[in-house]
Chains A and B, each alone.
Chain A
Amino acid sequence: MKATKKLKFSYQLPEKAPRIDTLLDDLMSVTPEIDPERAVLITESYKENESLPVIKKRAKALEKILKEMNIVIRDNELIVGNQTTKPRSSPIFPEFSNKWLLDEFDTLAERDGDRFLISEKTKETLKEVFDYWDQSTTNELATSLMTQEALEAMDAGVYTVGNYYFNGVGHVCVSYDEVLAEGFNGIIEKAKAAKKELSFGNPDDTPKRHFLDSVIITAEAVIEFAGRFAEEAEKLAEKTSDNKRKKELLEVAKNCRNVPANPASTFHEALQSFWFVQLVLQLESNGHSISPGRFDQYMYPYLKKDLDNNEITLEKAQELLDTLWVKFNDINKVRDQASTDAFGGYPMFQNLIVGGQTPGGQDATNLLSFMCLEATEHTKMPQPSISVRYWDKSPEEFMMKAAETTKEGLGMPAYYNDEVTIPSLTNRGLTLEDARDYCIIGCVEPQKMGKTEGWHDAAFFNMAKVLELALNDGKDPMQDYKQLGPKTGKASSFESFDEVMDAYKNQMEYFVELLIHSDNCVDSAHAERAPLPFLSSMVDDCIDEGKSVQNGGAHYNFTGPQGVGVANVGDSLAAVRKLVFEEKEISIEELENVLANNFDGHEALRQKLLNNAPKFGNDIDEVDELAREGALIYCKEVEKYENPRGGSFQPGLYPVSANVPLGAATGATPEGRLAGTPLADGVSPVGGRDQNGPTAAVNSVAKLDHHIASNGTLLNQKFHPSALEGENGSRNLNALIGSFFDQKGFHIQNNVVSGDVLREAQKNPDNYKNLVVRVAGYSAHFVSLDKSLQDDIISRTEQCF
């Protein structure tokens, strides 16, 4: 047992309670399964309510699910609420898409990463359910809205809108604070009051009335749902002979009787109320990245009150928090093979952020900020995705605590820079107070909680592919030179570097416009077929406006597609400029030829491109400026456009792990990259090419314009544990983060694990089940990842100070 930890912050954090490991063991001993229950219930509900408007159909369906699904209180739980009967299983959401699942029934349990067991009976049940949804999914509607050009560009891997194309949107942080303070009874009152304002004479008010009725239906349903857990707890309490457990269960029952219907009166109730919101959001739609946001801010008053009144001990509070952390890992979702390639490791991206500043601009760090980091150290699990907001006034002790957490090797916390995020959000129209109150959604996407429909994970856009097309007259070398983009000339027709850049710009304009079109089609499909009343009830100004977030009810509306391959584009442009046009070491015809043949028989030339031109990540202006320019061309193009919800597009620069599949669709590139190999991860340098140490790498990355990429950028650094040893190691890490942020970097995350350990884990996965790595914007169990993703992680440079 570790000794009690001491903090200069004048309180001591308790050690881990024995209950936590028991809960974790129970959770991890089960292989995830496909659970058909939700799919059956929603289908029955739709059949019963065919005549209703879609918003009410959705409300009725959620109501039925919450009424009839099997509820379970797992052994030793203090906070209750299950998504599926067995832990970590996946419910099914046939209303978004389902054909892929049908096709993959037989491979789910066998595939390389993220396996799910599925019984023959479940297969039969689901087949029947899916019949009902044929042609009625959001996916099928979106496809029918899109033009042929857009579908072809997606096929070619120029971009993918895959996430929301096949799934619910998620990617939101709702007003947890409001539920804690007012309860769902408060929300019902608000909806009723709004209804009173409506007029029967106004035709616009009819859909509003249906929306508000739907809000009331779902709010009442979640209250009843909590009541079912109260009953179950009482039943279990009755049965158990263990007096201690009996007391716990009665406490659980008491909590579930009061919340989330009413305001939370204790810290324990606040946690329980929070969890019902978190859980039911998942059950309503299968979007991931439903993010708790600034948990240490809205939860702290409840903790403080209980501590001040001696209603709770710090030990008990930490234990409750730890059990909630375990709970976060009970939520799971099945994805298709392609998305599994892009988001390996069963990630749910429930981003929980601590520290930073208050809306008024003062430091916001508190006791709970520390306890949240401690809970991550205790549980050592990938969820929640824990993040730290950093600004110049972040306390030293807090940063040292965060460094300690980093050393656990979970790839967490991720760090975000207030000094970049706040101005970049005000530039997009947020008020200063709202911008200061930002949280992070999913991987790296900032938003103001409870007011935003950010559509943050709108697409991954392959900038390296655009460059490839720009060098091939708009034809795709990976598809027998099929014409995909405008005819901008073959590489061999270019007489200057400027002509290369012009072609890149022209192709970019064309494909970004297609991307926007695709995103907007998917957006409209969600509005038409899957508006979400429960979620909307906790986002301003939906109730006031009488419409769902999918119909534009949120106060702030954005769409955020990500550019992928910054470093590949920068390195390629630098190689072409230097070796072809400046030094004339390689002729443009020769380059065209070797790229077409994937460098076959020209390894020396490939080495020349790799080693004789500067590479992004080494603090060399010549190439860093081109990476910046290549990314800016994308960003400036994206921010021109608007979405159907009345908001604007805002670019991001991060790949989650889409750099692997997008790389697979991209031929050889001029910086020496072979066809089909992964693209660089986020704004990080290409793995292994940053050879001047971590400071040079962050200096290069900081030269990009992180303000314009307001949907987030992502820098992965990987450290050998020895680089971070002792207090000195923590200080070095914090100095690196600080100086990256001084130079206006946006985000940095740090893996602490040796390449040898990872290779060993690849060979003997059984011995490394617990090994957590940071994949891109999230942490996952290394052994659950696909082999190519594992290789990608191993090849990222290990940095040493």
Chain B
Amino acid sequence: MFLKGCPLDCPWCSNPESKDKDPQIMFNPNLCIDCKKCIEICPNNAVDFNLRGRIVRDKCNLCMECVDHCYSKALSIEGIEGSVEELLFELNKDRIHYRRSNGGITFSGGEALYQSDFLLELLKGCKANGWHTTIETAGYYPKETLEKIIPWTDLFLYDIKMIDDGKHKKVIGVSNKRILANAKFAAASSADLVVRTPIIPGFNDDKESVSEIAEFALDLKGVKRIDILPYHRLGEDKYYGLGQKYQMKDIESPSNEKMEQIKELIIKKGIDCTIGGVE
């Protein structure tokens, strides 16, 4: 389950529709049948066929008329609003699969903790049903937020992208002090923790950055392993559909060999490592 909203602004994010906490209109040109209904219906003249994202975002007041009349779903809303009960009802549909797969629910984003009160209620609901809960987070929150949800959380997938604070600030826009401190706190708690590191060419795919992350992880109490995730361009089209720019256009995904090398390096440091979480 993806929860919308994120305080960070990583240029490589593959779920850009999840960054903004409000619903957004996404345009998918492959589905458009050119019926022009959207232009006819828009009360604010906000539809422009020359735009890759189709909608002039600052003229649009999100009245959703165009989305309702786009029968081919070329225009769609990203993000639906739902109550805790409604979401639990949806999650409950897969209860038999959770039992069979020893799995449960992963809350992701955006940033799972962005809507932390809502998340807390959801987590309680999951636990009442006996489901395993996983939180994917980048940890950029006050300690209290974490403290609140830990009793209802079985596993953290904890994003650590860079130990060098200077580089972290430069690319992601914020300091990592709080992120690293929270990682220590979460690792020492009753929940399990796996470190996740997206490998971004030119940012953290060098020996030094990787070693630092491995050493940091080694120091954490109760950490299970590091999952390294190769950067991929799957999100690219979504940026255009949202009328946004994609800043990573020229960056290639890291090669399999490169990923294997990094994995080797991490394992040599004495901590388990997978590529993409696959054992």
**8 Å CB contacts to B: which residues of A597-638?**
603-605, 607-608, 610-612, 619
- Given the complex, which residues of A lie within 8 Å of B277, measured CB to CB? 728
7 closest A-B pairs by CB: A735-B101, A607-B71, A608-B71, A607-B72, A739-B100, A735-B100, A738-B100
**Stretch of B90-98, B122-130, B169-177 lying at the A interface:** B90-98
- Is the Cβ of B96 less than 8 Å from the Cβ of A743? yes
What are 13 A-B contacts with C-beta separation under 8 Å? A604-B35, A605-B71, A607-B71, A608-B71, A611-B73, A619-B93, A695-B97, A728-B279, A735-B101, A736-B100, A736-B101, A739-B100, A743-B96
Q: How far is the CA of A610 from the CA of B73 in the complex (A)?
A: 10
In whole Å, how far is B134's beta carbon from the nearest beta carbon of chain A?
15
Give which listed residue, B71, B93, B94, contacts A604 with CB less than 8 A.
B71
**Does A725 interact with chain B (Cβ within 8 Å)?**
yes
Give which listed residue, A604, A726, A732, A739, contacts B96 with CB less than 8 A.
A739
**Does B80 interact with chain A (Cβ within 8 Å)?**
no
Give which listed residue, A611, A732, A736, contacts B72 with CB less than 8 A.
A611
- Is the Cβ of B278 less than 8 Å from the Cβ of A742? no
In whole Å, how far is B269's beta carbon from the nearest beta carbon of chain A?
23
In whole Å, how far is A697's beta carbon from the nearest beta carbon of chain B?
12
**Does B181 interact with chain A (Cβ within 8 Å)?**
no
**8 Å CB contacts to A: which residues of B91-129?**
93-94, 96-97, 99-103
Extra 20 A-B pairs, beta carbons < 8 Å, given A604-B37, A612-B71, A739-B100: A604-B35, A604-B72, A608-B71, A610-B72, A611-B73, A696-B93, A699-B93, A726-B279, A727-B279, A728-B278, A735-B102, A736-B97, A736-B100, A736-B101, A739-B96, A739-B97, A739-B99, A739-B101, A742-B99, A743-B96
- Given the complex, which residues of B lie within 8 Å of A727, measured CB to CB? 279
- Given the complex, which residues of B lie within 8 Å of A729, measured CB to CB? 278
- Is the Cβ of A603 less than 8 Å from the Cβ of B33? yes
Q: How far is the CA of A725 from the CA of B274 in the complex (A)?
A: 13
- Given the complex, which residues of B lie within 8 Å of A699, measured CB to CB? 93-94
- Is the Cβ of A695 less than 8 Å from the Cβ of B94? yes
Give which listed residue, A604, A607, A696, A742, contacts B100 with CB less than 8 A.
A742
- Is the Cβ of B101 less than 8 Å from the Cβ of A726? no
Q: Nearest chain-B residue to A619 (Cβ)?
A: B93
- Is the Cβ of A726 less than 8 Å from the Cβ of B278? yes
Q: How far is the CA of A699 from the CA of B94 in the complex (A)?
A: 8
Write the residues of chain B forming the contact surface with A, with a CB cutoff of 8 angstroms: 33, 35, 37, 71-73, 93-94, 96-97, 99-103, 277-279
In whole Å, how far is B64's beta carbon from the nearest beta carbon of chain A?
14
Write the residues of chain A forming the contact surface with B, with a CB cutoff of 8 angstroms: 603-605, 607-608, 610-612, 619, 695-696, 699, 725-729, 731-732, 735-736, 738-739, 742-743
Q: How far is the CA of A567 from the CA of B48 in the complex (A)?
A: 38
Q: Nearest chain-B residue to A693 (Cβ)?
A: B94
- Given the complex, which residues of B lie within 8 Å of A619, measured CB to CB? 93
Q: Nearest chain-B residue to A604 (Cβ)?
A: B35
- Given the complex, which residues of A lie within 8 Å of B278, measured CB to CB? 725-726, 728-729
Q: How far is the CA of A727 from the CA of B279 in the complex (A)?
A: 7
Q: Nearest chain-A residue to B73 (Cβ)?
A: A611
Q: Nearest chain-B residue to A736 (Cβ)?
A: B97
In whole Å, how far is B229's beta carbon from the nearest beta carbon of chain A?
14
Main secondary structure of the interface of A (DSSP, over half): helix
Q: How far is the CA of A53 from the CA of B277 in the complex (A)?
A: 71
In whole Å, how far is B106's beta carbon from the nearest beta carbon of chain A?
12
- Given the complex, which residues of A lie within 8 Å of B102, measured CB to CB? 735
With A728-B278, A735-B100, A735-B101 as given contacts, are A607 and B93 in contact (CB-CB < 8 Å)? no
- Given the complex, which residues of A lie within 8 Å of B101, measured CB to CB? 731-732, 735-736, 739
Q: How far is the CA of A732 from the CA of B97 in the complex (A)?
A: 10
Main secondary structure of the interface of B (DSSP, over half): loop
In whole Å, how far is B72's beta carbon from the nearest beta carbon of chain A?
4
- Is the Cβ of A735 less than 8 Å from the Cβ of B97? yes
Q: How far is the CA of A612 from the CA of B102 in the complex (A)?
A: 35
Q: Nearest chain-A residue to B35 (Cβ)?
A: A604
Q: How far is the CA of A611 from the CA of B32 in the complex (A)?
A: 13
In whole Å, how far is A618's beta carbon from the nearest beta carbon of chain B?
10
Q: How far is the CA of A742 from the CA of B96 in the complex (A)?
A: 7
Q: How far is the CA of A542 from the CA of B100 in the complex (A)?
A: 45
Q: How far is the CA of A791 from the CA of B161 in the complex (A)?
A: 43
Q: How far is the CA of A621 from the CA of B134 in the complex (A)?
A: 28
- Given the complex, which residues of A lie within 8 Å of B73, measured CB to CB? 607, 611
Q: How far is the CA of A465 from the CA of B103 in the complex (A)?
A: 42
Q: Nearest chain-A residue to B98 (Cβ)?
A: A739
Q: Nearest chain-B residue to A699 (Cβ)?
A: B93
In whole Å, how far is B19's beta carbon from the nearest beta carbon of chain A?
23
With A612-B71, A695-B97, A732-B101 as given contacts, are A604 and B33 in contact (CB-CB < 8 Å)? yes
- Given the complex, which residues of B lie within 8 Å of A732, measured CB to CB? 101
- Given the complex, which residues of B lie within 8 Å of A736, measured CB to CB? 97, 100-101
In whole Å, how far is B189's beta carbon from the nearest beta carbon of chain A?
26
Q: How far is the CA of A189 from the CA of B96 in the complex (A)?
A: 54
- Is the Cβ of A735 less than 8 Å from the Cβ of B71? no
Q: Nearest chain-A residue to B102 (Cβ)?
A: A735
- Given the complex, which residues of B lie within 8 Å of A604, measured CB to CB? 33, 35, 37, 71-72
Q: How far is the CA of A608 from the CA of B69 in the complex (A)?
A: 9
Q: How far is the CA of A727 from the CA of B278 in the complex (A)?
A: 8
Q: Nearest chain-B residue to A605 (Cβ)?
A: B71
In whole Å, how far is A31's beta carbon from the nearest beta carbon of chain B?
40
- Given the complex, which residues of A lie within 8 Å of B71, measured CB to CB? 604-605, 607-608, 610-612
Q: Which of A605, A607, A727, A738 has the most CB of B within 10 A?
A: A607
- Given the complex, which residues of A lie within 8 Å of B94, measured CB to CB? 695-696, 699
Q: How far is the CA of A736 from the CA of B103 in the complex (A)?
A: 11
- Given the complex, which residues of A lie within 8 Å of B97, measured CB to CB? 695, 735-736, 739
In whole Å, how far is B18's beta carbon from the nearest beta carbon of chain A?
18
In whole Å, how far is B235's beta carbon from the nearest beta carbon of chain A?
16
- Given the complex, which residues of B lie within 8 Å of A610, measured CB to CB? 71-72
- Given the complex, which residues of A lie within 8 Å of B93, measured CB to CB? 619, 696, 699
In whole Å, how far is A731's beta carbon from the nearest beta carbon of chain B?
7
- Given the complex, which residues of A lie within 8 Å of B96, measured CB to CB? 739, 742-743
- Given the complex, which residues of B lie within 8 Å of A742, measured CB to CB? 96, 99-100
Q: How far is the CA of A727 from the CA of B71 in the complex (A)?
A: 42
- Given the complex, which residues of A lie within 8 Å of B99, measured CB to CB? 739, 742
Q: Nearest chain-A residue to B96 (Cβ)?
A: A739
Q: Which of B33, B72, B99 has the most CB of A within 10 A?
A: B72
Q: Which of A605, A610, A735 has the most CB of B within 10 A?
A: A735
- Is the Cβ of A603 less than 8 Å from the Cβ of B100? no
In whole Å, how far is B28's beta carbon from the nearest beta carbon of chain A?
12
In whole Å, how far is A106's beta carbon from the nearest beta carbon of chain B?
43
Q: How far is the CA of A610 from the CA of B93 in the complex (A)?
A: 24
- Given the complex, which residues of B lie within 8 Å of A603, measured CB to CB? 33, 35
In whole Å, how far is A199's beta carbon from the nearest beta carbon of chain B?
61
In whole Å, how far is A610's beta carbon from the nearest beta carbon of chain B?
8
In whole Å, how far is A714's beta carbon from the nearest beta carbon of chain B?
21
Q: Which of A604, A732, A736 has the most CB of B within 10 A?
A: A604
Q: Nearest chain-A residue to B74 (Cβ)?
A: A607
Q: How far is the CA of A98 from the CA of B105 in the complex (A)?
A: 60
Q: How far is the CA of A607 from the CA of B33 in the complex (A)?
A: 9
Q: How far is the CA of A605 from the CA of B100 in the complex (A)?
A: 41
- Is the Cβ of B279 less than 8 Å from the Cβ of A735? no
- Given the complex, which residues of B lie within 8 Å of A612, measured CB to CB? 71
- Given the complex, which residues of A lie within 8 Å of B100, measured CB to CB? 735-736, 738-739, 742
Q: How far is the CA of A729 from the CA of B277 in the complex (A)?
A: 11
- Given the complex, which residues of A lie within 8 Å of B279, measured CB to CB? 726-728
Q: How far is the CA of A727 from the CA of B100 in the complex (A)?
A: 15
Q: How far is the CA of A728 from the CA of B276 in the complex (A)?
A: 12
